[in-house]
Amino acid sequence: MKAYTTLAAVAALAVAFPVQAEFALGDRFTDADGDLIADIPTDPDQLIDPDTLIFAYTPVEDPAVYAEVWADFLDHLSEATGRNVQFFPVQSNAAQIEAMRAGRLHIAGFNTGSNPLAVACAGFRPFAMMAAEDGSFGYEMEIITYPDSGITEVEDIRGQQMAFTSETSNSGFKAPSAILNDEFGMTPGEDFEAVFSGAHDNSILGVANRDYMAAAIANSVLGRMIDREVVTEDQIVSIYTSQTFPTTGYGVVYNLTPELQEAIQGAFFSYDWEGTPLAEEFGRNGESQFIPITFQNNWAVIRTIDAFNGVEYDCD
């Protein structure tokens, strides 16, 4: 039996946890306008204007696959900015955040759960998200198992093993941890064994191959893997589906020149998806355009989940 939730309990936490007041940027950054992202420096000496721009997509699946998927867009980005653009194949969320923090990454798509940490500690300024033609966007967290696993509902995970992706992932750890605790009274490490696969595709393949009894995953990744026939629908059983969350947020590091940041944003919103590798890959999820977003508004529910889980954005 598949259970659905509106995460009303988590949404109600926004009242109990003043997340917008608690969220703070690292000491390196300022937020004079109160929009919860780092201000662009006003001192010209603090700005950077690189000849080569480095782009990285969140490491949810094989980086080699996505180097090809993004190639046409990066050509468009290069033309719009007048700069060379290189794809940087990161292997983990932590490595992606550290690359931007260290000045080696200029443009990125950070996964849902990593956005707050990237904003707080790396100076990430998200401005776009993929969406369908009608402007709808997002994905759901699902808890999956395999047929005949003996797990038919969430309570059956108690005393068993469950796979997560990484601690910075919203659907791979943060949201399911909050849901399991609040709705089912279950805590990883106490009521079941928690293991970490490192990525959504690893978790999905682990369940499909019966290496993991259950896993928390983003159904957008599952959908693309089924469409590419990496796994088949009859290998997976879903027992829980969450509310819709914002998906990967795209943006830039805070200290690019204002003119370059504007040109990069323009490239995202002027890109023609029709007939491109990007459309072929992300069209599997119904996505066909980039739309404007703000971290302050679109990531409020994610900051609420972080507050519920006691997450602290340690930028030291």
Q: Please, what is the Cα angle at 109 between 103 and 112, to 5 degrees?
A: 115
pLDDT exceeds 50 at position 8: no
- Indicate if 238 and 100 belong to the same structural domain: no
What are the CA-CA distances from residue 182 to residues 111, 133, 155, 165, 186 (Å)? Answer: 24, 35, 13, 20, 8
d(CA 158, CA 240) in angstroms, rounded, equals 15
Q: How confident is the model at residue 18 (pLDDT cuts 50, 70, 90)?
A: very low
Supply the pLDDT for residue 19: 40
**pLDDT score, position 61:** 63
Q: How far is it, in rounded angstroms, from Cα 277 to Cα 282?
A: 8
Asked if the model's pLDDT at residue 20 lies above 80, the reply is no
Element holding 74 (H helix, E strand): helix 63-81
Q: Which residues pair with 96 in a beta bridge?
A: none
Range of the domain at 52: 10-136+246-309
Both 215 and 252 in one domain: the answer is no
pTM of the model: 0.81
CB of 106 closer than 8 Å to CB of 268: no
- 146 with 39, same domain: the answer is no
Express each pLDDT in 152-169 by its tens digit.
999 999 999 999 998 888
Q: Could you give the number of structural domains in the chain?
A: 2
Beta bridge partners of 216: 143
DSSP per residue, 230-280: SS-GGG-EEEEEEEEE---EEEEETTB-HHHHHHHHHHHHH---TTSHHHH
| Residue recorded with tokens 């094989």 | 62
Q: Does 305 share its domain with 252? A: yes
Please tell me whether residues 166 and 199 are part of one structural domain: yes
Which residues pair with residue 107 across a beta bridge? 55, 252
Residues 214 and 224 in one domain: yes
pLDDT at res. 89: 92
Q: Are residues 160 and 32 in the same domain?
A: no
Nearest in space to 17 (alpha carbons), one of 244, 294, 309: 309
208: in domain: yes
pLDDT in tens, 114-131: 999 999 999 999 999 999
Q: Do 92 and 151 fall within a single domain?
A: no
What confidence tier does 284 reach under pLDDT thresholds 50, 70, 90? confident
Reference 109, options 272, 278, 297, 308; nearest CA is 278
Q: What does pLDDT average to over the chain?
A: 90
Most confident listed range (22-31, 148-157, 176-185): 148-157
Residues 81-103: pLDDT tens digits? 999 999 999 888 899 999 999 99
Q: How confident is the model at residue 49 (pLDDT cuts 50, 70, 90)?
A: very high
178 and 127 co-located in one domain = no
- In terms of pLDDT, which residue wins out, 239 or 169? 239
pLDDT at 13: 38
**Distance between CA atoms of residues 166 and 113, nearest Å:** 10
